[in-house]
Copies of this chain bind each other. A is one copy, B any other.
Amino acid sequence: MKTIGVFDSGFGGLTVLRELLPLIPDTRYVYLGDTARLPYGSKSRETIVRYAVSSAHFLADQGAELLVIACNTATALALDEIREAMPIPVIGVVEPGAQAVLAAAKASRAGTGQSKVVVLATAATTQSKAYSRSLSALGLSSIEKACPLLVPLVEEGWLEQPAHKAVTLDVLRIYLLEALEQAPGANILLLGCTHYPLLTPLIETTLKNLHHSMQIIDSAAATANAVAAHLSGSPPRLVDANPECIFYATDSIEKFQRLGSAFLRQPLSEVHLVDLGG
């Protein structure tokens, strides 16, 4: 049974794991959430690289033969450094996300030439310009918008109770208005942070209120497909086998279990505390 390591600064990467489980079931998954050092999105490249590389080493030590960087910020700022440091294949979320946008653009009325992409992401991810570079290499025009308040709002669960939801809708309206000022005719919205898919219904409401139609893409499913494609050269898989999941977190196990189940949409068994220093 193959071991796949899945890494995120916190809980968001569980949305990628959720897509991997049905697609590649005959696998042992080792997930690490670096919750003692999160958030990465507001920190510097040097710090993010240091944290991400030490996390990758931990997962390799747990037997990972393939590493999925299920965190946009770590992928955008540290993918090259992680690949250099690790002797195993490493797949990030930025390239699959960009490919998913390309497929959506090809299928759209605008086509690739007239499509315009808005990428919502953390401050560190937008500063890295990783998404603009990947999209530009595919012939796609894009702008990136930093949305630093969305992760705290998702982690607080301000998504449903009316007064809370109203605040989150106001914040989304502010970010989307600013983004659409820069890219008035944009038709594709890429969610460049693994927390943001939990906001999809509220983003749809906000776009409707702004009378602006956009196709919303996230990179979780696209990343899982990229992992499956990478493994397609491997021996045939036992498709009726059950995946095995082991979770590690660098901070409170209880909080990881509680918040994590919202992202994975199932209870989290067996969460272990790990100290990566610091």
A interface, CB within 8 angstroms of B = 35-37, 42-44, 46-47, 50-51, 148-149, 152-153, 155-156, 158, 163-164, 166-167, 170-171, 174, 250-252, 255, 276-278
Contacts and interface: CB of A to CB of B under 8 A. Distances in A.
25 contacts: A36-B37, A36-B47, A36-B278, A37-B37, A42-B155, A43-B251, A43-B252, A44-B251, A47-B251, A148-B152, A148-B155, A148-B156, A149-B149, A149-B152, A149-B153, A149-B156, A149-B158, A152-B152, A163-B170, A163-B174, A166-B170, A167-B167, A167-B171, A167-B174, A277-B278
Contacts of A50: 278
Copies of the protein in its oligomer:
2
A192 to B, nearest CB: 18
A156 B46 CA distance: 22
Contacts of A155: 42, 148
A51 B275 CA distance: 12
Nearest to A166: B170
Given A174-B167, A278-B278, A252 B47 contact: yes
